[in-house]
Structure 1
Amino acid sequence: MLQQHPGLYFAPSGKHRYGMFCIEEIQKESVIEICPIIIIPGEQAKEIVRSHVLYEYYFEWKKESIAIALGYGSLYNHAAKPNAEFLADYPNQYIVFKALELIPAGTEILVDYHAGTPDEKVWFEIK
């Protein structure tokens, strides 16, 4: 089930090359997007993690698998102080993005990809 907040768009970002924005404000705790995923298991996942164009777009999934989010799910940029979060819905195989605070119209939507482990390094370059 793909569900998106009305007015989401992908555009050039001042901090990152491109990012996700919304033409309307998004209220705190609102669902921004529910993204179905493609699960990539074990050995195939290891290959992508090592040397694939999808390296910067995957989410860790349970049991050594990774997931590629459909919709805009793999396009939200990282920030140490995010205005949104993502939650894995394992039973339904979705990734849910929610607003942590009021996000004004035209503001880039940012998530923290440390996924609950703030001391762990992320796998991509932080700009």
Structure 2
Amino acid sequence: MGPIVMRNTGKYGRGIFANRNIKNDELIEEAPVIVIPKKEWKLMRDSVLLNYVFWWEEDKALALGYGSLYNHSYTPNAGYITNIKKQSIDFYARKDIHKGEEIMINYNGDPKDQSPLWFKVRE
């Protein structure tokens, strides 16, 4: 069984949870991406995909696997790196995460960035 599982958060829909204890700096998931070129994104930006894509240089990217399903937090226990060369988004633990704990990332990219998002954040 893998280190993560998707389930309902009971607060804001689906989320990703630790299926076992995960150590600080451990790779949680290497999610391959589908890159959506900037010119094609213009046709899709008013779709449900708006809530699931990542910035990918001047384009957008949809992360496969569980990649696009991590929920946001301004105090995240995980972070991510966009790996342009491998065309993946790599999710890492920023601290020890206990089995059953939801894994959260900061949608702004930088874990310390407190900038407002396109939705009301519920912590």
**Is the TM value for this pair above 0.5?**
yes
How is 1:64-103 mapped onto 2 (pairs within 5 angstroms)? 65-103=59-97
Asked if 1:25 corresponds to 2:21, the answer is: yes
State the shift of 1:24 in Å: 0.5
Q: For 2:117, what is the secondary structure of its paired residue? A: coil
Cα deviation digits, residues 97-121 of structure 1 (max 9, x gap): 0000000000000000111382532
State the shift of 1:68 in Å: 0.1
Q: For 1:74, what is the secondary structure of its paired residue? A: helix
State the shift of 1:18 in Å: 1.8
Partner of 1:46: 42
Give percent identity, aligned residues only.
35
Consecutive unaligned residues of structure 2, counting only runs of 5 or more, are: none
Consecutive unaligned residues of structure 1, counting only runs of 5 or more, are: none
Count of aligned pairs between the two proteins: 121
State the shift of 1:14 in Å: 4.0
Partner of 1:6: 2
What's the Cα RMSD here? Answer: 1.7
For 1:113, give the aligned amino acid. Y
For 2:19, give the aligned amino acid. I
Partner of 1:55: 50
Determine the C-alpha separation between the residues in 1 that align with 2:95 and 2:10. 20
Partner of 1:104: 98
TM-score by length of 2: 0.90
TM-score by length of 1: 0.87
- Aligned CA distance change for structure 1 residues 120 and 48 (closer, same or farther; 3 Å): farther
State the shift of 1:46 in Å: 2.2
